[in-house]
Structure 1
Amino acid sequence: MLHMAYFYVMARETAYPVKKLVNLTEEQARRISDFRFSQRLQSENEAIRSLIEIGLGIADADRQEKS
């Protein structure tokens, strides 16, 4: 019965529940790493999310400009 407490522990919700696997070239990986360190981001995942947000913002602005 010592292990019963384990069953009462619930998994914590994550801020990023969707996971994607992306293949990168060596150049892309290096540029992401350079961006991460220049922005002083804590993780590579955070750098990738930031770059995606930047790109999506530019794409949205470009689309609105064309319409």
Structure 2
Amino acid sequence: MSKETVFPVKKLVNLTEDQAKRISDFRFEKRLASENEAIRVLIGLGLDASRSKDDPTD
């Protein structure tokens, strides 16, 4: 019996230096345990924001 992985999908993403610094700063400000957690939170926030009625990309 194998353990179920909490995050079974892995993605490799290239970032600019500015994006990497902003993620690191966000992680520090929110006191998140890892950079991966910070990235997951930021992706979630972005996806939630993209559902808003004010989104110009709709």
Q: How many residue pairs align between the two structures?
A: 56
Root-mean-square deviation (CA, aligned residues, Å) is: 1.8
Task: Report the equivalent of 2:7.
Answer: 16
What stretches of structure 1 of length at least 5 have no aligned partner? 1-9
Q: Computing the radius of gyration over CA atoms, which structure comes out larger, 1 or 2?
A: 1
Whole-angstrom distance in 1 between the partners of 2:53 and 2:11: 25
Describe the superposition over 1:3-37 as per-residue Cα deviations: whole angstroms up to 9, x where unpaired.
xxxxxxx4321111000000000000000000000
Question: Scaled by the length of structure 1, what TM-score is found?
Answer: 0.75
Question: 1 or 2 for the larger relative contact order (CA 8 Å, sep ≥6)?
Answer: 2
Comparing both structures, which one devotes a greater share of its residues to helix?
1
4+ runs deviating over 2 angstroms: none
- Percent of aligned pairs sharing the same letter: 62
